[in-house]
Structure 1
C-alpha cells in the first residue's frame, strides 16, 4: 500500500474521530445544560414555599427568577405517602440524566443530590416521629432569632418582614395541628421537654416592650434611606403586628400545648416507640451523614474514647516530671488569656490557618451578643449562614451566659468562626458551587467539621502543649460520653437509672446534671451524634488518607479536598477522596 494511500486512510480516520469527538462534546454540553436547568428549577421550587428561608438563602431572588413570592413560613406535613411519592418522582428525574456525560462538577452535584434524596426517602415513613419543638434548638427559640436578623436590603424587605410576622399565628396553629397528630399517635414530647418549651415561650412573652425584636427592627431600619415620617410609620406598623400577631402566637403555644400533656411516651428513648429502632437508625443516617450501622458507630465511638483516655493517662503519669501541667488545671480552674476580645481572637485564629488550611476568602465579621434575658434558653453561640449570593458579610452570636472563661470563648469562636463554620461556609461559597447544594443539610459534615476545628483550636490557644492536649482529649471524651448515652437511650432503651450508672462509671456523679443530660437527649435524639460522629468520621478519614496518600499527605491537602467537595455524606467523601 502506497504512503499516499495510507495517509488518506489515516486522514479519513482522524476526520471520523474528530466528528465523533464533536458529537460527544455536544451531547455532554447538552446534558450539562439540561441538568443545570433542572437544578435551577428544583432550587426555585424548594425555596418558593418558605419566604423566610428564601430571604436567608438569596439576597437577590429576582436574579434567580424568584419574584413576588407570597409570605410564608413553610408548613408541617404528616402525609408520609405523599411526601414519599414526591421524593421518588424527584429521584427518577435526577436519575434520568446520563451522569457519564456531565462535567466533573455536575457529577459531584448529581451524586450528592441523589444521596440526599435517597436518605430523605428512608425517613419518609416517619414524619410524625419528627419534633419541631425542642429545647434550645426548636422553632420557639430559633424563629425569634431568625426574625431579629432578617436583613433589610430595601423597603420591600421591610414590607415582606412585616407580612411574615402576620403569618406566625397561622404557622403556629398548623404546628399545633401537627403536635395533635403526634399526640394521637402516641409520639408527643416528654413532660420534661414540654416544660422546657413552655418556659421558653414564657420567657419570650415576659420581654414585652423590652423584646429584642423591637430594637433590632429599628436598627435595621437605619440601614435604609428612609424619611423620618416613613421610619416612624414602619415602627408603628411593627408595634401593631407584634401585639396583634407575634405575642398572641406564642400565647397560642403556651395555652394549647399543655392540653396534650400526658399523651407522651414517658418511657424515654425512641426504641420504645413502634418501629423506633428503625427510625433512630434512619435519623442517625440523616443527622450524621455516616452510613455505618448503630453498632458500628458505637464501636467507632468507643475506639476514639479509648485513644483519648490513653492520652489523658499518659499526661497524668508525666505530672511529677512535667511542671507545665498545673494542679489548677486538674481542679477545673477557669482560664484567663491576655486577649479576650472576640474580634481579636477571630483575627488571630484566621492567621493560624496558613500552615494547614487553604487561604480563606476576605469577608467581614460582626460579633453580636444574645440578649441577657434570653441567655438561658439559647445555645452558647451560633453562626448565621449568609446568603449564597452574598457571603461576604457574616454574623456570629455569642451567649455570654455560657462563657465561663476565656478558653471557652476561644474554642467556641474556633467552632463558629475559624477554622469552623464561618471559614467552611465562606470558603465553599467562594468556589461558586451550584446553589442547590445550599439546600442539602448534612449536619454531620458541618457540625463535625466545626467540632474538629474546635478540637484543633486547643493547640492554637496560649497554653502549654501538654495542657492543651489534656483539655482537648477531655473535651473529646465528654462528647463521646454524650454520643454513647444517645445510643444507649434511643437504641438500647436506657432509663434514667441506666444513664446515671453509665456516667458515674466515668466519674460524673452529680445526679441532677445527669438528669438534665438525659432529658436533653430524650428531647433531641441524635443531636449530639452529628457533632461527635461527624468529628470522628473526619479523624477516621484522615487516618485512611495518611495510609493511602503516604508521602503525598499533608494537612493542607486533606483539609482542602474536604472543603472543596463541600457538605456531603462520609461515604461520598471517601469515594471522592480515597
Structure 2
C-alpha cells in the first residue's frame, strides 16, 4: 500500500553565521542608543529597537542582506563590506550575546504596546529564550548536513544572487573572494566538533565529500559561470566591454577561489573521517536527548513533550489508516495517479492552483514566478523542490526550483508545486510580507509554521487536482501516513536510540519491506534531526487548530476566514498562533 519516498522539500533559508540570533550587543546596549529612546512613545521606542536589531543582524553577512533587502539604503543600511560572517563555536559568548539582547527587549512592557508590536514582542521574546537554550548545544549543530548544508546551499544562493546594478556585481565578486576564509571557519567548527566527540559518522562525511567533488568536477561548465553570464546579460546599461571583464573575473574567481575552498573542505573532512564517535541518533551523545528536546521545540515551534508529539502522530496515523480502509481502492487508481496532469507544464499547474484557491484562501497581490531546474550534476544532493524567498521589498520575483532527478511528473509534481507555490510557501510568504510586518520578523525562523503550512497546502491540493474525491482522499491520507511514519522514525532514532535494525522492523510493521530504502531514510534522519517533524507536526498543529475552530463555530466556520486568521499571525510559535487565531475568530 505504501511507497517510501524521500521527500525533503524546503524553502532556501539564508546562510547565517550560525543558527542562532547573535547580535552585536555593543551597538544595541550603548548609552547613546537607549538615551535616544527616552523621549519617544513606547511604540516608537519599540520599533526603533527592532529596526536597529534588524539592521545589525541583516548586515552581518552579505547574502542575508541581499536576499532580505533589494534596497538596503531605504532601511538605513549602507557601505557594508562583503562578508559571509563566520561560524561561532564559543557557547559562552553566544549565550551572553543572546541574553543581552533579551534583557534589552524586556525593558519594554508589552501591555503598553499596540497589538501588532505586542505580538512582535511575544514572538521575539520566545525566539530569544529558545536561542539562549540552544547556545548550550552549539557544537551539536551540523553546518554540513545532507539536507541544508552550507556546501549544497551556497552555490544555489550565489547562482540566484540578483544583479540590479553594477554595485551588486562588484559586491558579488568581492564576496566570492571571501569564500576560502568562510570555509576555513566551517573547517575550524568541524575540527572543534571532532575534538568534542561530536563529529559526523563516516557515511555522512562520504556524502559531503561526494557532493563537494561533484561540484568541483563541473569545471568551466559550473552553473556559477552560466548563471553569472545570464545575469550580467540582463544589465542593459552595462557596456559590453565591462560585461566581458566581469565574466572573465567571475570565471577566475570560481576556479581560483571557490574550487580551492571546496578542495580544502574535502581535505579537512577526509582528515577528520574516523573521528565520529556515533553512527546512530542524538540520544547516543552525552546530553543528546536534551539537545533533541531543544531542537524539536526550536524546529516545530511546539512546547509539547516528545511523548505528547508521539501520541499525536500515532493518533493521526490511525485516523488516516481507518479512513483509507473505508475507501475501496479503485482498480485504475495507480494508472490515474501516474497519468493525471502528465502533459501539464509546471507553469500551467501553478496557474491552475492559483485560480482554484480563491474560494477558500484570501487574495494576495499579483506576483511573478519562475520555475527553474536543478542542474543535473547536483540532482543527487539537493531537495526534490525548493522555493527561493524573495526580498521583503521586492516580492515580485519568486523562483521555484524543481529537481527532475527526484520529483516525478503528474500528480506528484502538482502537489509539490502546491507545497512550494500556491497555496504553500510562495503564497504564504507574499501574503505575510504584503501586510508590511515589522522587518525583524522576516529573519526569525519558525520552521514548524512555515513548513507546516506548506504541508497543509500540499494535503489540500489533492482535492484541487482533477481526481475523484475518494481517490483524492485515499492518496492524501497515504501521503499523510508516510510523513507520520517519518516523524515517528525521527523521534525513535534520535530520542529512543533506534538502530537501523529497529528502524527496518518499525517500517515493516506498516508493510514497508525495503531494507535499502529504510537505510537511506535512516541515514537522512541521522544527518537532519527533527527535520521531518517541522513538516508533519507543523501540519498536524494547523489541522488540529482547524478542527477546533470548526467545532467551536459550527455553521459559522469559514475556511477562508480561518486561513486569513492563520496567515495574519504569520510565522510564530504555535502557542502564540493558537492564541491569536482563537482571539480573532472566537471573539
Fold in common (TM above 0.5): yes
Q: Does 1:96 align with 2:107?
A: yes
- Does the 8 Å CA contact 1:267/1:495 hold for their aligned counterparts? no
- Does the 8 Å CA contact 2:369/2:398 hold for their aligned counterparts? yes
Q: Select the residue among 274, 289, 306 that pairs with 2:301.
A: 289
Question: Structure 1: which 4+ aligned runs deviate by more than 2 Å?
Answer: 325-336, 547-552
- Does the 8 Å CA contact 2:58/2:65 hold for their aligned counterparts? yes
Q: Does 1:385 align with 2:393?
A: no
Matches within 5 A, 1:400-419: 400-419=404-423
Matches within 5 A, 1:257-276: 257-276=269-288
SS of the residue corresponding to residue 400 of structure 1 reads: coil
Q: Gaps spanning 5+ residues in structure 1: where?
A: 1-26, 320-324
Q: Does 1:361 align with 2:365?
A: yes
- Does the 8 Å CA contact 1:334/1:404 hold for their aligned counterparts? no
Q: Select the residue among 214, 235, 245 that pairs with 1:233.
A: 245
Q: Select the residue among 432, 448, 455 that pairs with 2:452.
A: 448
Deviation at 1:333, TM superposition (A): 6.2
Q: Equivalent residue for 1:9?
A: none
SS of the residue corresponding to residue 395 of structure 1 reads: strand
Deviation at 1:29, TM superposition (A): 7.0
Matches within 5 A, 1:214-229: 214-224=225-235, 225-229=237-241
2:269, 2:324 → 1: CA distance? Answer: 46
Q: Equivalent residue for 2:222?
A: 211
Deviation at 1:334, TM superposition (A): 2.3
Q: Equivalent residue for 2:265?
A: 253
Deviation at 1:79, TM superposition (A): 1.1
Deviation at 1:328, TM superposition (A): 3.8
- Number of residue equivalences: 545
Matches within 5 A, 1:462-481: 462-481=466-485
Q: Does 1:59 align with 2:63?
A: no
Q: Equivalent residue for 1:196?
A: 207
Distance 1:88-1:476 versus aligned 2 partners, 3 A rule: same
SS of the residue corresponding to residue 368 of structure 1 reads: strand
SS of the residue corresponding to residue 541 of structure 1 reads: helix
Q: Equivalent residue for 2:118?
A: 107
2:194, 2:326 → 1: CA distance? Answer: 51
2:52, 2:334 → 1: CA distance? Answer: 57
Deviation at 1:330, TM superposition (A): 5.3
Deviation at 1:120, TM superposition (A): 0.8
Q: Over alpha carbons, which structure has the higher Rg?
A: 1
Distance 1:111-1:298 versus aligned 2 partners, 3 A rule: same
Instruction: Please list the CA deviations of residues 514-539 of structure 1 after superposition, one character each: whole Å capped at 9, or x if unmatched.
Output: 10000000111001111001001111
Instruction: Please list the CA deviations of residues 92-133 of structure 1 after superposition, one character each: whole Å capped at 9, or x if unmatched.
Output: 111111211111111111111111111111111000000010
2:58, 2:386 → 1: CA distance? Answer: 23
SS of the residue corresponding to residue 72 of structure 1 reads: coil
Which is richer in helix?
1
- Does the 8 Å CA contact 1:71/1:160 hold for their aligned counterparts? yes
1:182, 1:577 → 2: CA distance? Answer: 42
* TM-score, reference length from structure 1: 0.92
Q: Equivalent residue for 1:4?
A: none
Q: Equivalent residue for 1:117?
A: 128
SS of the residue corresponding to residue 508 of structure 1 reads: coil
1:208, 1:328 → 2: CA distance? Answer: 47
Q: CA RMSD in A?
A: 1.5
Q: Equivalent residue for 2:544?
A: 540
Deviation at 1:267, TM superposition (A): 4.0
Distance 1:111-1:515 versus aligned 2 partners, 3 A rule: same
Matches within 5 A, 1:149-188: 149-188=160-199
- Does the 8 Å CA contact 1:50/1:71 hold for their aligned counterparts? yes
Q: Equivalent residue for 2:13?
A: none
* TM-score, reference length from structure 2: 0.91
- Does the 8 Å CA contact 1:191/1:266 hold for their aligned counterparts? no
Deviation at 1:552, TM superposition (A): 3.0
